[in-house]
Amino acid sequence: MRQKILGIVTAVTTFISAGTAFAGPEAEVLHWWTSGGEARSAAALVAEFEANGGTWQDMPVAGGGGDAAMQALRARVLSGNAPTAAQIKGPSIQEWYSQGVLADLDDVAKAEGWDTLLPASIANHMKCGGKYCAAPVNVHRVDWIWANADVLARAGIDMPTTWAEFNSAAKTLLGMGIIPLAHGGQAWQDATVFETVALGIGGPEFFHKAFVELDMSVLGSDTMEAVFDQMRIMRGFVDPNFSGRDWNLATAMVINGEAAFQIMGDWAKGEFTAAGKSPGKDFLCASTPGAGYLYNVDSFAMFAVKGADKIAGQKLLAKLVVGESFQTVFNLNKGSIPARIGTPLDKFDYCARQSAYDMEVASGNDSLLPSYAHGMALRGAQAGAITDVVTNHFNSDMKSSDAVKALVAAIKDSL
């Protein structure tokens, strides 16, 4: 297996002159996997890369759901010192490609058969000008609600299947002195809750028209006002100290029973498992109320770099990332599911298997949707315009009707 993987490294070095030294594949990797479960996942990739002869230089950048990492990346690229690879996703990949700074991975993709190993919708995110320029690590489901099983049992509450049920449960919890919703007051976390509410209240077609097509009539609709109404209600279910809290600290509130629920992607599950908690026993998982599946795909884009060692490192990294071994080990730690089709799920827990099943169903009925909040549906300007309105509404007394008007105006200004 080791010899097979290193074969691609040999191919890369054939163009090197006889007098040029080749130390081996190297990769400096910029990412934002810094919390407990995420760090374990990153360590799995480092271990496999080094086991196959590579030298890994880690560049973790914490904070902001990746915002801080992207700032660091821009600074590196502008200075002419791009990393070998960086954690980038969705339309951001195309934005970097348009600047002419990404490397071509099509040779690796063809050799490994990525077109048959990846779902078409996922593969399309990884291509630039019809050729692969990035490698998918996983598929995260965003529209999850997590709960402390003991807290719900003591309160006599079931996992909510409608937003009305959620609101009723939250009021019961408030009466018991328990925080209903663990939340971090960061813009991307506000956006995460908002898009799950939008999907649940409006449905998949509404979501697609609003956050993929940017249909102004839908963005300014009564249904959108109802979404903001629900957000206003949920603002009353978070604790007074939520502002600026990191998402994993909100997850810890559910783990220790300080709060009952958290609405967060399935990377939160990595925090539960890292704390030794078991699904179905210590914590519960369910899709947020409504139908559909919001996905967020972590991926590595490779930057145009010089040096045979770095180029070999890129190609080895790309091969390993989509390999069945890494797709299994990484996603078991991360809480997500493999992007690679056919990866055995026998080692995965109930939440992951449910996610994989729901994704397959959603793929067949046009309800598999890219998350706007996590950079899969829109480019930065439009996504940022929506999130600014969402955050302003959530943290003020802004009326829902005014938020809808502001949303339409913000999108028009961003186009």
Distances (CA, A) of 64 to 159, 186, 190, 255, 380: 29, 7, 12, 22, 14
Contact (Cβ atoms closer than 8 angstroms) between residue 37 and residue 267:
yes
208 pLDDT higher than 80: yes
| Residue showing tokens 């829902």 | 400
Torsion sign over Cα 151, 184, 369, 127? negative
Question: Cα(127)–Cα(138) distance, rounded to whole angstroms?
Answer: 16
336, two tokens: 């997500």
Question: Cα(48)–Cα(3) distance, rounded to whole angstroms?
Answer: 14
The predicted structure's pLDDT at residue 360: 84
Pairing assessment for the beta strands 368-370 and 293-296 based on DSSP bridges:
parallel
182 pLDDT higher than 80: yes
* Portion of the chain with pLDDT greater than 70, in percent: 94
Torsion sign over Cα 150, 156, 161, 167? negative
213 pLDDT higher than 80: yes
Q: Does CATH number 3.40.190.10 belong to domain 2-140+296-350?
A: yes
Domain range annotation of the chain: 2-140+296-350, 142-295+369-414
Question: Cα(321)–Cα(203) distance, rounded to whole angstroms?
Answer: 33
The predicted structure's pLDDT at residue 5: 46
Number of residues in the chain:
415
Question: Cα(246)–Cα(249) distance, rounded to whole angstroms?
Answer: 5
Question: Cα(171)–Cα(190) distance, rounded to whole angstroms?
Answer: 20
| Residue showing tokens 């009925």 | 365
The predicted structure's pLDDT at residue 28: 96
Question: Cα(164)–Cα(370) distance, rounded to whole angstroms?
Answer: 25
Question: Cα(123)–Cα(118) distance, rounded to whole angstroms?
Answer: 6
- Tens digits of residue pLDDT in 78-132: 999 999 999 998 899 999 999 999 999 999 999 999 999 998 888 999 999 999 9
Mean pLDDT to the nearest integer, 175-192: 97
**Taking CA 69 as the corner, what is the angle to CA 103 and CA 41, rounded to the nearest 5 degrees?**
85
351 pLDDT higher than 80: yes
Distances (CA, A) of 222 to 6, 70, 143, 217, 402: 58, 35, 22, 10, 12
Question: Cα(382)–Cα(378) distance, rounded to whole angstroms?
Answer: 6
Distances (CA, A) of 266 to 262, 295, 334, 407: 11, 10, 8, 28
334 vs 31: which has the higher pLDDT: 31
The predicted structure's pLDDT at residue 231: 98
Q: Which residues of 120-133 are buried (b: 16+ CB within 10 A; e: fewer)?
A: ebbbebbbbeeebb
Topology of the domain covering 142-295+369-414? D-Maltodextrin-Binding Protein; domain 2 (3.40.190)
- Tens digits of residue pLDDT in 253-264: 999 999 999 999
Mean pLDDT to the nearest integer, 223-247: 97
Q: What are phi and psi of 285, to 5 degrees?
A: -135, 145
Mean pLDDT to the nearest integer, 389-399: 98
- Tens digits of residue pLDDT in 260-319: 999 999 999 989 988 999 999 999 999 999 999 999 999 999 999 999 999 999 999 999
